[in-house]
Structure 1
Amino acid sequence: MQTPTKRTSHSVYNLNYHLVFVTKYRHCVLKGRIADHLKAVIPTICTRYGWDQLALEVMPDHVHLFLSAPPTTAPMVIGKTLKSILAVDVFRTFPTLKRRHFWGSGLWTDGCYYGSAGTVSAQTIAMYSANQKEA
């Protein structure tokens, strides 16, 4: 998967990020309807913020997201934005989840993995994310 260069009004770029965010306490709750919901919501959020989702894999206790974003957006901002919106949305859609597993805390751990990739390793990261289900 070779991602093309993109343009803003003042730059040409090809910035690809591999983000991994983990549920608090590594609770394995991202499956079934919740996983399907995340797979439907994440592309919408990415589109709203001008990021291109390249690959997505939802594991029971973490999410792998590979996306492309303009140079005006720091990777940390992308992670914080996604985690914040997703936590509010998931707890609103699945209110029993908060009461059963995450009372008094958020959905995600404080940290996040951020990896950067150029065009050469973009395919490798996408394949890695897709193969996580088999591991």
Structure 2
Amino acid sequence: MHVPQERTTRHSHYNLNYHFVFTPKYRRHLFHGAVREKLMQVFRETCLMRDWIVLGMEVMPDHAHIFVSVPPKWAPSDVAKILKGVSARRILKEFPGLRGGEGSGHLWTPSFYVGSAGNISAGVIERYIQEQRKHQVDDDA
């Protein structure tokens, strides 16, 4: 696993890391063997094509975790939509048997979990911002 660190684009410095959890439709146990390996490969390739860095990933039989660092131009909802959409198309194409039965034609539930993480806790940021105001007041005096 990579350690999250600050990255740079032409217009920004950032450390935006998102933990996503996706579950298959009806929480089916789909991700074993070749299907699991293919899903991990698709996630890696999808991220690589967009300059997203995979910091961690685990695929369980009934859900998938991916921890990624993304540039600020990408909203978390767009990242989720792309990861789920690309993986669903490629997995269902390669493993058409997954289409049958419940949830036919759909790999993922419409919902997902996302949490953000960086190197600094929310409390540290709040204290830093409060201290900035105190320094401004002192400078104005």
Q: Say whether the fold is shared (TM-score over 0.5).
A: yes
Structure 1 residue 50: Cα displacement: 1.3
Asked whether the 8 Å contact 1:57–1:64 carries over to 2, the reply is yes
Identity within the alignment, %: 41
Q: CA deviation at 1:101?
A: 4.3
Aligned 8 A contact 2:26 2:102 in 1: no
* Structure 1, unaligned runs of 5 or more: 122-135
Is 1:113 equivalent to 2:76 in the alignment? no
Contact 1:2 1:120 in 2 (8 A): no
By how many angstroms is 1:119 displaced?
1.9
Q: In the alignment, residue 99 of structure 1 is paired with which amino acid?
A: G
Aligned partner of 1:81 in structure 2 is: 82
Structure of larger gyration radius = 2
Q: Which has the higher contact order (CA 8 A, sep 6+)?
A: 1
Which consecutive residues of structure 2, in runs of 5 or more, have no partner in the other structure? Answer: 122-141
1:55 lines up with 2:56 in the alignment: yes
What TM-score comes out, normalization by structure 2 length?
0.80
User: How far did 1:97 drift?
Assistant: 1.1
What is the CA–CA distance in structure 2 between the aligned matches of 1:120 and 1:62, rounded to whole Å?
28
What root-mean-square deviation, in Å, do the aligned CA atoms of Structure 1 and Structure 2 show? 1.4
Aligned length: 120
Do 1:79 and 1:112's aligned partners in 2 also have CA atoms closer than 8 Å? yes
User: Normalising by the residue count of structure 1, what TM-score does the alignment of the two structures yield?
Assistant: 0.84
Q: How does 1:10-49 map to 2 (within 5 A)?
A: 10-49=11-50
Q: Distance in 1 between matches of 2:120 and 2:9?
A: 22
- State how far apart, in whole Å, the 1-side matches of 2:64 and 2:8 are: 28
Q: Is the 8 A contact 1:2 1:119 kept in 2?
A: no
